Structure formats: structure tokens, C-alpha cells
Amino acid sequence: MRCSLWRQTGENATQSLSRGTRVIVTGRLRQRTFDDKEGVRRTTVEIDAEDVAVSLTYATAQVTKTYRAAHPPAADAPLRRRPRCRSR
């Protein structure tokens, strides 16, 4: 199925995925009608993707967080740690 990705999501997908990679997509299903080169009216269904993820059924992935250009983390900012859970 044809899928459209825009802005940062599209940039990240371009850098992260290759042809044939199995993905999971969420978004809006869209139907559109157009005239082809021969003048025949055609209808197609596409997904306007909001999120894309690699399917981990047949692959592994390593996640790297990206930041918006306007809000990069400060170089001297302390690392945030997750709170530890203690068993009793």
C-alpha cells in the first residue's frame, strides 16, 4: 500500500529504512481519484502516515532519539535517570 510521510517523520524514515524493510504504520486512510495519462479516471487508497516503526518480527532495531533544531539538549545538562524500583 502506498504511504505518504511528511516533515521530520519522512526524514527519519529515509535515514532509518531501506526498501523491503517490514514496517508498522499508523495514520489516516485516504482515497483519492485522478485521471491517468490516457485520461482514464482512477481511484487509489493511500495512508497519510503519522507514525512508522520497524516490525521486530524479523529484525532488530536500535533507537536513537532525534531533537528539533530549536530545542537540542544542553551539552552540560545532567543525564536523566529512571527511578529504580526496589523489591521488598
Looking at residue 76, its pLDDT comes to 59
Q: Which residues contact 9 (CB under 8 A, 6 or more apart)?
A: 49, 50, 51, 52
Q: How far apart are CA 63 and CA 43, in angstroms?
A: 37
Mean pLDDT in residue range 52-64 = 83
Please give the sequence-ordered ranges of beta strands (E in DSSP) within 1-88, or none if there are none.
2-4, 23-35, 41-54
Give pTM, 2 decimals.
Answer: 0.56
C-alpha cell read off for 29? 486512510
Higher per-residue pLDDT: 87 or 31? 31
